[in-house]
Amino acid sequence: AQRVTQPEKLLSVFKGAPVELKCNYSYSGSPELFWYVQYSRQRLQLLLRHISRESIKGFTADLNKGETSFHLKKPFAQEEDSAMYYCALTDAGGTSYGKLTFGQGTILTVHP
């Protein structure tokens, strides 16, 4: 079974402070991990994925298979980063067609 846990429902930081959104997963196979974001009154959209090893809007995430974690980090938070963030998992073997397993989400608020 696949499970994604985001332990923080709410996270508040001040502008310019570092931010880390936690994501832990449980999966017996080979996982591929994603972060999705939903800004106010917008659709759910992909922020970044592990397979691309890219940095988007200053965010990075490292897959730690030993700790089964995929935490999202940004060194200096901006007010426009305020949003709901979802960590998601799929099977890296390619047989989980279109299936993403989501965590419960973390609401990030960046105060001025």
9 binds other proteins per the rule CB under 8 A: no
Shortest approach of other proteins to residue 96 CB, angstroms? Answer: 7
d(CA 26, CA 23): 10
Identified binder of other proteins from the candidate list 25, 37, 105, 110, rule CB under 8 A: 105
56 binds other proteins per the rule CB under 8 A: no
106 binds other proteins per the rule CB under 8 A: no
Q: ∠107-45-59 over CA atoms, to 5°?
A: 65
57 binds other proteins per the rule CB under 8 A: no
Smallest CA-to-CA distance from 72 within 99, 105, 18, 35 is with 35
96 binds other proteins per the rule CB under 8 A: yes
80, amino acid identity: E
